[in-house]
Amino acid sequence: MTADPQIPLLSVRDLKVHFPIHRGVLQRQVGTVRAVDGVSFDLGRNETLGLVGESGCGKSTTGLALTGLVPPTEGTVMFDGKRVGSESGVDLQTYRRRMQIVFQDPYSSLNPRQRVSDILRVPLDIHGIGTRAERPQMVLDMMERVGLRPDQARNYPHQFSGGQRQRIGIARALMLNPDVIVCDEPVSALDVSVQAQILNLLRDLQAELGVAFLFISHDLGVVEHIARKVAVMYLGKIVEMADRRTLFANPVHPYTERLLGSMPSLDPRKRHSFEVASDDIPSATSIPSGCAFRTRCPLATAVCAKEVPPATERAPGHVVACHNR
Ligand SMILES: Nc1ncnc2c1ncn2[C@@H]1O[C@H](COP(=O)(O)OP(=O)(O)OP(=O)(O)O)[C@@H](O)[C@H]1O
Ligand SMILES: [Mg+2]
């Protein structure tokens, strides 16, 4: 690792993930889902970038593409200053080892027939980390680090609570000592009281290990709690990105304003997701021309239907894509 603080750990430019829609016996392509449609951001070492937006805007697909679980259609990813997948850059195997993912539902993402000790050992086996004799101890050390008891190592996932299962998911992601973990709604399936424990665990692990998080969430309260920077996504694009304080205190994009306006309460017991909009949300199969948000935007003018608003930097680190703001 070059560890040059000037070079972001992860640099994503114009990432696109399009899925073809096939119909009929001939499986002709009748359309395209533009799930991710030109996403760009930088993620620094030890940093947490929150990625927020309504259901279906492409958050998970972004995370999956970045961890190599779905193939990107277009775009470049630089890791540690080197292009991923190019001959002179970072090879995919190294990259995938350094980028891990934690999913929303720890139950369906853990093999129910594997004991925890095996779930955590498999990544070490696959990547040949440690000797056979060392691996069991490495597993126990990691269990302890995420707050699981070593005597639970021979248990199966169903023998754990939801919060404990998410600790297993986090431990699994950490086994290969990654530089980045994509956390895709890691606390959304958990009880509110348990959410705080898991968020605190993630924060402690970050301080201890220096790992960076791309933290995907519906819940602005959760993002406000954990992220240093926040990116707001709408139909496949980032419409606004800023440090957390700026974004929550001085949102510029009308969509961000709308999300914040519909953020019910910071009190975790009263918190809901922000999807309270009752108007029609266009889908990723028929994204409006120009600015995708224009059909719901109170400020929309003629130019919004014609031209995609470029993302411009309004203040250092504060990027907004809007014609009229
Ligand atoms: N494998 C796929 N094939 C076709 N379309 C897909 C596929 N995966 C996702 N999509 C579509 O891409 C869009 C973005 O989906 P994605 O799961 O990334 O959204 P999301 O922001 O994570 O939503 P949520 O908050 O509900 O998890 C959606 O319209 C979804 O239906
Ligand atoms: Mg998702």
Which atom, in ligand 1's list, is nearest to the CA of 185? 27
Is the CB of 218 within 6 Å of ligand 1? yes
Is the CB of 217 within 6 Å of ligand 1? no
Cβ 180 vs Cβ 153: under 8 Å: no
Could you give the CA distance from residue 203 to residue 211 in angstroms, rounded to a whole number? 10
pLDDT tens string 178-201: 999 999 999 999 998 899 999 999
How many percent of the chain have pLDDT more than 90? 82
Q: Specify the 3-state DSSP secondary structure of 232.
A: strand
Q: What is the CA radius of gyration of the chain?
A: 20
Is the CB of 33 within 6 Å of ligand 1? yes
For the CA of 35, the nearest ligand: 1
Judged against a pLDDT cut of 90, whether residue 42 lies above it is answered with yes
Among the ranges given (4-8, 131-135, 258-262), the one the predictor scored with the smallest mean pLDDT: 4-8
Instruction: Give the per-residue pLDDT at 108.
Output: 83
Going from the C-alpha of 133 to that of each of 36, 115, 129, 182, the distances in angstroms are 44, 18, 11, 30
For 17-73, the DSSP string reads: EEEEEEETTTTEEEEEEEEEEEEEEEE-TT-EEEEE-STTSSHHHHHHHHTTSS--S
Is the CB of 57 within 6 Å of ligand 1? yes
Instruction: Give the per-residue pLDDT at 85.
Output: 83
pTM score over 0.85: yes
Contacts (Cβ under 8 Å, ≥6 apart) of 113: 156
Instruction: Give the per-residue pLDDT at 3.
Output: 61
Is the CB of 69 within 6 Å of ligand 1? no
Is the CB of 285 within 6 Å of ligand 1? no
Could you give the CA distance from residue 143 to residue 151 in angstroms, rounded to a whole number? 10
pLDDT tens string 196-255: 999 999 999 999 999 999 999 988 989 999 999 999 999 999 999 999 999 999 999 999
Confidence of residue 86 (pLDDT cuts 50, 70, 90): confident
How many percent of the chain have pLDDT more than 70? 93
Instruction: Give the per-residue pLDDT at 9.
Output: 95
Q: Separation of 284 CA from ligand 1 center, angstroms?
A: 8
Q: Separation of 61 CA from ligand 1 center, angstroms?
A: 6
pLDDT tens string 66-82: 999 999 999 999 999 99
Contacts (Cβ under 8 Å, ≥6 apart) of 33: 18, 19, 20, 21, 284, 285
Q: Which of 15, 34, 60 to mutate to test the pocket of ligand 1 (most atoms within 8 A of CB)?
A: 60
Q: Nearest CA to 305 among 293, 314, 316?
A: 293
pLDDT tens string 264-318: 554 554 444 444 455 577 899 999 999 999 999 999 999 999 999 999 999 999 9
Q: Separation of 52 CA from ligand 1 center, angstroms?
A: 14
Q: Separation of 184 CA from ligand 2 center, angstroms?
A: 7
Region for 139 from its dihedrals, namely left if φ exceeds 0, alpha if ψ lies in -120 to 50, beta otherwise = alpha
Q: Separation of 85 CA from ligand 2 center, angstroms?
A: 25
Give the mean model confidence (pLDDT) for residues 17-37.
93
Q: Separation of 61 CA from ligand 2 center, angstroms?
A: 7
Is the CB of 63 within 6 Å of ligand 1? no
Q: Residue 109 carries which side chain, given as an amino acid letter?
A: S
Q: Nearest CA to 323 among 237, 241, 253?
A: 253
